[in-house]
Structure 1
Amino acid sequence: MEKTQKSTQQKIKVEHPYGFPFKPYQVQLDLMDKIFETLSKNQKIGLFESPTGTGKSLSLVCSILTWYTGKQKTEEQKSQTNSDWLSMFDTTDTNQAMNHNKQIFKKRVYSSLNSNDIREIQSNLKQSKSKCTNIQYLLERQQMNLQTNRDEHIISYDSDQEDKKVKLKNITQKAKSLSSGVGSGNFSILKQSAKDRQIIFCTRTHSQISQIINEIKRTEFADQISVVPIISRRGLCVHEKLKDITNSALLNEKCQDLTEKSNCEYNDQKLTDIISDSIVDKVHDIEEIGNLASSLKICGYFGSRKAMAEADVIIRYWFSMKLITQWRLFAHQIQSKYLIVHQKLLAIKSKNIQVIYSNYDNLLAKYGSRLSPKNHKYLKDIVKVVVILNNFLQKKLNNPNEIEQDKQEVMNVMDLLIETDLYQVDFVKLYEFFEKSDLVRKLNGFIQSSIKLDQEKGQSKQNIQTFNKSVLYEIRDFIRILSHNPNDGKMILNLSFKQNQQSSIQYLCLNPTTTLKRILDQIKAMIFISGTLEPSQEFNLLLKYVDQDQISRFNCDHIIPKQHFQGLIIPNYKNIAFDFRHSQRSNQQQMTNLCEIILLSSQNTPKQAGVIVFLQSYGYKQQFLNYLKQKDDIMTQLQEERKIFEESQDQKIDVFQEYSREITKNKRGAILFCVIGGKLSEGINFSDDLARTVIVVGLPYANSQSIDIKEKMRYFDLQGDQSFKGNDYYENLCMKTLNQSIGRAIRHINDYACIILVDQRFQNRNIMNKLPRWIQSRIKEIKQSEQDLLQDLQQFFKYFEE
């Protein structure tokens, strides 16, 4: 009997599905089942929507790591069976064991190289007529060939031999890392071989990276895997003269300059090996890595990047997707307005064109005779591109038929290339030269040394051409864009006739399908997961070349009970229809009715809670608040109910912190006026009392006259897909922004909130269908204005009082 009592008193560890730290809710279990099934079936794409507050980050982590560790264990067991590792530790014959150990390591080195790698090594050894068969020798020989005495600004890139040389170097470096433990008696190499399979979590903000790390720490997988977060230099730099620089671009510049000159004492290879090993040893969050770097006086930035090779999980910002060539599994947490990959403008400014031209010309003049013929040609081609683009812009600005008024023009990429006679340039080769010759570093070094020399000579500062290194990257990236399919985008000319403003050429990507296809060809799977994935029709166009059997789709219901959410649509009030389109939103009777709805909602929301009012733009927010202040009676009553806060565009004051303090610390009600699509509509958690009532005013349509919006709409109209036209794109852009704002209020299973949508257009079935599905099933329309609104609010909040 006593034994029974003791056993029941002992803490029993309960194992939950997918290593979840507690018993998952059914919606979480459904989501994890679907993600695990997608990976197990080797499907290529996963599109998952899980509402904000349902624990999707933890569900994503647990399902993927369950799949990952399970598969990893199976393969390790196979490897152990095939290689008979236990024989290494046989002490009956030490010499025989050591010889066997060497053979095992050698076998492991070669087994980690594919057949093409081995043929490349063998071919190179035959050509050099060397009898040596040691892989290490090949690496040393390659390095010796590179270490020749030459001017540091001379470009030694050989386009004909570079591909082969880089391939050999990569192979031998890989072999070196695998074989470094041979004969040393240290068997740690078995655990340190480079990963051939990795999980990459891409998020959009610093806080989301921390969230993923903390979720991993909560699981049983924290002791089984290595996790490396990748962030910028800020927070990880330990150099006394650099770490306090707040400007990221300037910090990057200074760091790169020190690194190129090997003058950073904190970025020594042996030192970064130490912190790299520490990072992969256990799961660290960003702050812990920063503290570790500070205590060890070792660069955390380069240490964490070195640790990437040995990481099971890498967590980084989503815009680093260009590094995806290393990736094997891509878990992408996205915000709704980032559904389309690489949909952005890339610009090159006229002033920067002139800066580059003058310095390229100087480099050619000084070193032109010492360059190889091909390098000389490529450098001249870059100068040619820069000069022609500069002349093209100047010609546009100097056209006597043009009225001197700022304007924008749109051109097809091929039309620009034909008009400027650049269509014959091989931009693919040119970009390759730019990258592999290390041109940015060498040209930057040349420019800086020229500036220093001029200063030493005491020449006038007016004659010294200064610039930011990012200018060089502008040219490089623009050349990369010109190497793409010219039908995938448009050129936008921003012509400015004002003295203090620059003209520019911008590239607008219209079709990211090519980029996405290139990514998908190099990875195992891509998972998109968001709280507001809908509307998602763009994915159908992006993935039209992917077999539909390779795409998995799933939409979760919300985790909260149905009575914890109330959605209300108010299309009219006191017989006046609400229409907040630009031409109608200044109607005074409409604004008066909106003031009354805000007051009524505020009076019937719990006294110590918060009310959020989302308006369409900063301009209209200010216009409405000015009007509200003129309504003395309403303003007085509103101020008696709650303290008023408003989001500002410059954000000199942390209004969210002040608003939160009023509710959570001072225990007083507050109301916050902010903007849909503004800083407070994304990534901010208005949980619990911070948002018991959310009022959304109008639909946040983008400016239809914006040139990039017009070109995107025209592009979709010309695709001939009747299910998705330009207007669908325009409407979806609006609804994604709206859905993101709505999702701020409900953050966990016990949370509750009332969402009020004010505009007659919310009655439109097409608009309703683009709201998150969990909201669609829980929303109703107010029929009798004031009376119905009052009754619905009182009944909803009364449930929680009881």
Structure 2
Amino acid sequence: MTIGGGQQMATIVGPDGRTHHVYTISGVRVEFPAKAYPSQIAMMDKVIRGLQRGQHCLLESPTGSGKTLALLCASLAWQRAEAENVRKFNETVEAAARASLKSVKQEMQSADETDLKMSSSVAKPVYVPKVESSPVGDMSAYYSDDNSDDDFKMPTKKRTKISKSPPEKPLVSIRPSSVGSSVPIKMEDMKTERVMLSSDGGSVESPVEQPFIQRKQKIPKIFFGTRTHKQITQVVKEFRRTVYCNTPMGVLASREHTCIHPEVSRSANKNEGCKTLNDRRLARQDTQQKGGCSYRWQGKEKLKTQSQIRNYGLDKGWDIEDLVSLGRRIRVCPYYASRDMSEQAQIVFSPYNYLIDPRVRQSMKIPINDNIIILDEAHNIEDSARESAGGSWSQEDFHLALNDCEKIGNRHPTMEKEIERLAKFSSYMMQWIGKHATNMKSVGFDKEVLIMTGTEFVANLSVDGYGPENLVELKAIIDYIFNEQLESDWNDKEGSQEPQLSAVTQSLLEGFLMIMDLMLNCNQIHRDDYRAVVVRTVERKQKKGPGSSFFGKANISQWTYALNLWCLNSAVVMQEIKQSTRSIIVTSGTLSPLASYQSELDIDFKLTLEANHVIPAKRVWIGTISQGPRNTLLNGTFKVTGTFEYQDELGRLVLSVCQTIPHGVLVFLPSYSLLEKLVARWRDTGTWQHLSNYKTIVCESRDSRDFEDTLKNFYSAIEDSENALSCSLDGSGDMSDECPSKKTGESPSGAVMLAVCRGKVSEGLDFTDNNARAVICVGIPFPNFKDTQVELKRQYNDKLSASTPLLNGSEWYEIQAFRALNQALGRCIRHKADWGAILLVDDRFAKTPRYVNQLSKWVRSSIRHFKDFEAMTNSLKEFADNFVAEDAAAALIASQQQSLASNQEESLLSTPLVVASSPYFAKPSTFIASPDVVCLSDDENNSILSVNDSLTSENSPLKAVARPVEMNQTPVRPMLTSKIPPATVAVQSKEMKTTPVKHSVFVNKKPFATLLGNPNKLSLSQRKLAAENGSHYFQAMNPTTSAKPEFDS
């Protein structure tokens, strides 16, 4: 069937017994675990075309539209097709190379025979063809059992096999074509270098023209980045749903999420603790000194390859929690195991800062050349790119580095001069920061700054003898010292204790010099994309000993000094990525306006998409409100939000919504400052107490360590409200006398969470169904106007907007606010069957059309403006009541069905309601059924038919789910379906060569359905039905159109 745009669709039964939809998109076969939404098809089409052409994609698809699944299926389907392409190409290259070498050898043998006398007196030439190759793109390469440890192996030189025959003529260049694409793959032509060697090892000039040999190709690796480690778990869950879940995969994560060492895992800084513990010398002497990490060194050979992790049962998609659990069980370090396995993987999942930040990319040895980078939930990619191109170093940091260098310099004879230079540089930077902490501008009562352009900063360093050339030398020294220490670790005798620079010092100096390299490379074109900012702040510490504090500790304040190098141009780090990778695919639900990404990242996104939402408009209520219950104007500017009048009116509004909406309500505020003010005010006025009568109140904390506990409290309250609603139904729709809520007179309510835009709650968390039936967004979350970094970015854009595509400072500032707002709005609508309300609390939406136009496409298309609070409340109540009633009716039917099945359970053990014991089951099996429901699933409790699947052909309204139950097994309760009169179901074998087996199904002693088929092959809706003696397939037939089979009426 043609879908549109040339895509074709078909359905197949996958190896898991479920229906998979097959689409042919731009010549690539894509298998999808469900019928794809139009937005998913559009996204897959863009992804595949981008990968075929080596182009970059910028794709926006609303929350809940299944964009992650579309990204995975499209990219992995293309990779699978490309792997076959590469395999054929490499076979052709190998065959051509063999033929050429054979021809050359024959010619040389002939020449040798002719010049036999000359060859006895003159050194024979030996030709060394130097041909670069990369692994053949066949799957077996990714299951290698190679136990090499690339992290710590010393560099070795590969031996070159010497050919005694010179090539004769160039080979024909053969290029593989990407599937469905007329654009050839870009490849560097690699000519064979031939060296003529004399018998004494010298070289002589080769008289033969050097040939052209095409190098092999490799399969592009996919790096799939998302914003947080938690989101990786969600992505891997989607990965498991696909037919591509057997693809060799890896997950890169920090030590914070992977360390299992009993001491280090409990430390405040796991990174430094791990680096110190894994000192190679300690590791070698582990048994004598009890040093090193046994999980890393003693268990490293247990879990390094794809085949090893498959042997442990993780063969169809695993996340970092699975790896940590396995690591604990077999005593292997998950952090290093994940790095080892990612080298062999075809798809690697990681936080996207691992792919963007050049320091992390270098540390993790992530190869991006000619590979694919997918950045999901990348609405913050501009900020991440700027942050990764900058850094902050305190005066104390350089002081500690100086001490470290001085401590080991005199005791390290082989590198004394190099370490002395690092010590001088550390001392210089420490003094430089202190020297420039004068004539500073106050930006708060406890903060002062001094701002320089990048040019001014570089000039300052150059005057003191640390110009660009000197910094390059220092970076080379750092690299040299690190490599020398690494070699020393492996080659020194066991008793040697040569001192080494600490991991902290190496990280500090290497990080600073790498940022300077970004600033100064490419002829210093990025120099003025930076601002050097010296910051002086007050740091408060507790001093031990006698003091004014009751507990014997006194708070002391002291000035601290730091140097910040702030990058104002995201393109600084994206430049290398866009030039190195095959394709960059950037996606999110909130990317609009797309043009700003192109200008900020300086990437030419040839393929863009703004997809529509999959949610029916009737299932979402979207409105703005300009005034509260007492007609107070609701204007979310900083000046107004500080007034008690505004805070009290907002409290009354939130209370009203919580009285109207069941279960979960999310309230997003522009800042933590306003959140804290509201909490204090509402506690004083009693609003907090009134609100807590209807909802459990939880607040997002500034401290990220409290985040998990906050979520648990919220979800627990929602679960309690769902259980209370469930127990309130007694089968007639009335609340049961046993329900706790009825005894106390209180209705089950749920929870309200007070959170902050740009906080963790607003970024990528899935508040599906009852977890968020309403989202209230208060004000517009503009960044802090007085923040120094925001101010500098605005000025930078204003300066360059006239001569470049960059937005001006005001436009950039507004976009930052609405991206954060749109991200928060998407928390409540998570799938097609979800429902929820969105309320924007600010009068500026009704007065400023420009603000409405910056909302996501799916929001602005359904928005309504309310000036009157009562009108808004009535509309919201009507919407909520309709869906609450729908949910209650569904819950009531489910409760009745459950009760019916429970009452029938005992009698069904001896006398099944429906018996089907025909030859296509090894043992008698039971179909549990009612006039409305047929249950059928496989032995592992996997539904063969879902509640939305039709058991009969398209003109029958019967809905069914199913489960085979043995005669002596407790039957499983039927799943919910709508009340539909009994229908006749005919099941006909695909192969009617023999007389079909006829078996009637009865419900309440009345004919219900007839199953027709032979003992060998039956099929029902193309779904797999498992029996102990094999698998059987059933095909549903329409009784009115089938001639041969007989049917019971």
Normalised to the residue count of structure 2, the TM-score between the two structures is: 0.59
User: CA contact under 8 A between 1:611 and 1:692: conserved in structure 2?
Assistant: yes
User: CA contact under 8 A between 1:612 and 1:695: conserved in structure 2?
Assistant: yes
Residue 652 of structure 1 deviates from its aligned partner by 4.1
Distance 2:566 2:468 in 1: 22
Shift in CA distance, 63/255, structure 1 to aligned 2, threshold 3 Å: farther
Q: Deviations over 1:235-261 (max 9, x none)?
A: 645556545546423433334425775
2:385 matches 1:355: no
Corresponding position of 2:479: 435
Quick one: which of 403, 426, 444 aligns to 2:470? 426
Residue 64 of structure 1 deviates from its aligned partner by 0.6
More helix by share: 1
Shift in CA distance, 52/423, structure 1 to aligned 2, threshold 3 Å: same
2:877 matches 1:793: yes
2:531 matches 1:490: yes
Shift in CA distance, 692/380, structure 1 to aligned 2, threshold 3 Å: same
2:81 matches 1:23: no
Q: Deviations over 1:73-107 (max 9, x none)?
A: 1222344466579x9xxxxxxxxxxxxxxxxxx99
Distance 1:361 1:251 in 2: 22
Quick one: which of 556, 568, 579 aligns to 2:623? 568
Distance 2:223 2:324 in 1: 21
Amino acid across the alignment from 1:644: I
Residue 290 of structure 1 deviates from its aligned partner by 2.5
1:689 partner SS: helix
User: CA contact under 8 A between 1:279 and 1:307: conserved in structure 2?
Assistant: no
Higher relative contact order (CA 8 A, sep 6+): 1
2:435 matches 1:395: yes
More strand by share: 2
Residue 622 of structure 1 deviates from its aligned partner by 2.5
Residue 443 of structure 1 deviates from its aligned partner by 14
Corresponding position of 1:741: 824
Gaps of 5+ in 2: 1-12, 24-29, 99-127, 137-155, 162-215, 287-292, 490-495, 520-525, 540-556, 723-747, 887-1049
Distance 2:468 2:639 in 1: 49
Shift in CA distance, 775/797, structure 1 to aligned 2, threshold 3 Å: farther
Shift in CA distance, 800/444, structure 1 to aligned 2, threshold 3 Å: farther
1:441-460 matches, cutoff 5 A: none
Quick one: which of 564, 567, 592 aligns to 1:509? 567
1:32-43 matches, cutoff 5 A: 32-43=44-55
User: CA contact under 8 A between 1:195 and 1:312: conserved in structure 2?
Assistant: no
2:77 matches 1:66: yes
Corresponding position of 2:800: 719
Residue 294 of structure 1 deviates from its aligned partner by 3.3
Amino acid across the alignment from 1:434: I
Distance 1:240 1:341 in 2: 33
Corresponding position of 1:675: 756
Quick one: which of 525, 529, 534 aligns to 2:592? 534
Shift in CA distance, 599/473, structure 1 to aligned 2, threshold 3 Å: same
Structure 1 range deviating more: 479-488 or 309-318: 479-488
Q: Deviations over 1:626-647 (max 9, x none)?
A: 3333444x55653433333333
Corresponding position of 1:285: 319
Corresponding position of 1:179: none
Corresponding position of 2:843: 760
Residue 742 of structure 1 deviates from its aligned partner by 1.3
Distance 2:589 2:440 in 1: 53
Distance 1:532 1:229 in 2: 26
2:380 partner SS: helix
User: CA contact under 8 A between 1:226 and 1:280: conserved in structure 2?
Assistant: no
Corresponding position of 1:76: 87
Q: Deviations over 1:648-694 (max 9, x none)?
A: 33364712211221121343312222222223222322211121111
Residue 31 of structure 1 deviates from its aligned partner by 1.6
Residue 48 of structure 1 deviates from its aligned partner by 0.9
Distance 1:24 1:399 in 2: 62
Residue 307 of structure 1 deviates from its aligned partner by 2.2
User: CA contact under 8 A between 1:331 and 1:528: conserved in structure 2?
Assistant: yes
2:683 matches 1:638: no
2:702 matches 1:649: yes
Residue 270 of structure 1 deviates from its aligned partner by 9.3
2:609 matches 1:587: no
Q: Deviations over 1:736-757 (max 9, x none)?
A: 2212211111111111111100
Gaps of 5+ in 1: 1-6, 88-105, 115-133, 140-192, 446-451, 455-464
User: CA contact under 8 A between 2:33 and 2:243: conserved in structure 1?
Assistant: yes
2:391 matches 1:346: yes
Distance 1:286 1:673 in 2: 30
1:278-357 matches, cutoff 5 A: 278=307, 281=310, 282=315, 283-321=317-355, 322=358, 323=361, 324-327=366-369, 328-344=371-387, 345-357=390-402
Distance 2:250 2:586 in 1: 21
Distance 2:667 2:301 in 1: 49
Distance 1:509 1:684 in 2: 29
Distance 2:217 2:261 in 1: 29
1:68-147 matches, cutoff 5 A: 68-80=79-91, 83=94, 111-112=133-134, 136-137=158-159
Shift in CA distance, 402/641, structure 1 to aligned 2, threshold 3 Å: closer
Corresponding position of 2:1046: none
1:584 partner SS: helix
Quick one: which of 862, 872, 879 aligns to 1:778? 862
Shift in CA distance, 350/560, structure 1 to aligned 2, threshold 3 Å: same
Shift in CA distance, 279/783, structure 1 to aligned 2, threshold 3 Å: farther
1:534 partner SS: coil
Residue 23 of structure 1 deviates from its aligned partner by 1.4
Shift in CA distance, 491/679, structure 1 to aligned 2, threshold 3 Å: same
2:627 matches 1:597: no
Cα RMSD, aligned residues only: 3.8
User: CA contact under 8 A between 1:572 and 1:785: conserved in structure 2?
Assistant: yes
Shift in CA distance, 443/493, structure 1 to aligned 2, threshold 3 Å: farther
User: CA contact under 8 A between 1:280 and 1:311: conserved in structure 2?
Assistant: no
Distance 1:274 1:453 in 2: 31
User: CA contact under 8 A between 1:337 and 1:733: conserved in structure 2?
Assistant: no
Residue 472 of structure 1 deviates from its aligned partner by 3.2
User: CA contact under 8 A between 1:414 and 1:423: conserved in structure 2?
Assistant: no
User: CA contact under 8 A between 1:49 and 1:533: conserved in structure 2?
Assistant: yes
Distance 1:438 1:229 in 2: 27
1:557 partner SS: coil
Amino acid across the alignment from 2:372: L
Structure 1 range deviating more: 776-785 or 707-716: 776-785
Corresponding position of 2:242: 219
Distance 2:435 2:715 in 1: 55
Q: Deviations over 1:168-202 (max 9, x none)?
A: xxxxxxxxxxxxxxxxxxxxxxxxx9955200011
Shift in CA distance, 543/603, structure 1 to aligned 2, threshold 3 Å: closer
Amino acid across the alignment from 1:638: L
Amino acid across the alignment from 2:354: S
Distance 1:49 1:723 in 2: 20
Distance 2:501 2:158 in 1: 43
Residue 710 of structure 1 deviates from its aligned partner by 0.8
2:613 matches 1:555: no
Distance 1:509 1:388 in 2: 23
1:756 partner SS: strand
Q: Deviations over 1:213-245 (max 9, x none)?
A: 22222111123x200111123564555654554
